[in-house]
Amino acid sequence: MSEISSSISTSDIAVGEYSFQVSQSGTPGNEAILWLHGSGPGATALSNWEKALLAFGDRYHCIAPDIIGFGDSTHPTDPPRGMRAFGDLRVATLLGLLDTLGLDRVHLVGNSMGGMLSVLMTLAAPDRFDRIVLMGSGGAPVPPTPDLIKMVSFYDDPSVEAMEDLLTRFVYEPATFGDELRQIAEARLPRVTRADVRRSHLATFDFAAGPPIGFTPEQLATIEQNVLIVHGRDDRIIPVAASYWFLEHLPHAELHVFGQCGHWTQIEQPDRFHATLAAFLNLDLTARSTS
C-alpha cells in the first residue's frame, strides 16, 4: 500500500479476475462514499478526486477506484466493444468491489462517465445506494458536442500539444491555470500512450459496436434516491441541458449550476463544490473548518 498524502492511501484490490487500484481516505466503518471518475485519455480516480478525498476523509470513508479500463486498474486484453458493453463490465466489477470491501450501502458521486455508471449501478442494485450525486453526467438525449468528439477521437493524433488543447476544452477559463494545464498534459502523456490505456479507450468509444449509453424517462422514474445534480453552466463537453433533462425525470432531484465553470466542477471550483456536496450529505464543512 502506498500513500499519496498523510490522508490518502492507495492499494490494489482483487475482484475476481480483475484488479482495482483504489485510493481511500477516512475510517472504514464510517458512512461510505464511492467516487467514480470521468473518462478521457489519462483519467484516473486521483486526477478527479484528490481534493475531495482530503476534504471528506475525516467524516466519511471515501473510496475512489480507477475504474476497470482506466489508470492502473485492469485493462482487459480483449475488452468489451462499445460504451454499453464495457459499461456493463464496469458496473459488475464495481458492485464486486463493494462486496469485497464489505460495503452494503454507500453514497455515490459520479463525474461525467462516472455519472452514467452511477445511474446504471442504481438501476441494477438500488438497495446498495443512499444519496447520489451526478456531475456533468452523460446519458441524456442531447447531441455530442464538438469538444466531446475531440476527446473521443484523441488517439487520431496523440501528443502533448493535443492533450493540452483537450484540457483547455474542459475548463471555463484556461488562463487561470497558468502553466498547469501544460504540466498536466506532459505528466499524463506517458500513461496515455500505454498500449493498454489506448486499447481500453478505443474499445469504450467503439460506436460501431453499439450506441452510447442512454436512459429513458421511465428508467429514471424508478430511482427513489435523493439525487444532487451538479453542472458547470459553461461546460463544453456535456452541455448543461443534459442536467436539466435529468432534473425533469428524476423524481427526487435538485440541480445546482455553477456559473463560470466548465466540465471540471470539482477542480475549477472545489470549495463551492465541497460545500454544496456537504450540505446535500448533511455535513457542514464550513462550521467544522472554523472550529
Query: Which of helix, strand or coil describes residue 217?
Result: helix
Residue 252 annotated in active site: no
C-alpha cell at 140: 441524456
CA distances from 111 to 23, 95, 171, 230 (A): 16, 17, 14, 9
* Residue 235 to residue 254: CA distance in whole angstroms: 18
Catalytic residue among 75, 107, 256, 263: 263
Q: Encode 177-195 in three state secondary structure.
A: HCCHHHHHHHHHHHHHCCH
Q: Which of 167, 142, 170, 146 is nearest to 234 (CA)?
A: 170
Q: Which of 165, 129, 128, 122 is nearest to 147 (CA)?
A: 165
Q: Which of 11, 24, 3, 18 is nearest to 97 (CA)?
A: 18
Q: Which of 61, 130, 123 is nearest to 87 (CA)?
A: 123
To which H or E segment does residue 228 belong? strand 227-232
Four-residue CA torsion sign, 262, 130, 67, 210 = negative
* Residue 237 to residue 170: CA distance in whole angstroms: 7
Residues marked as catalytic = 263
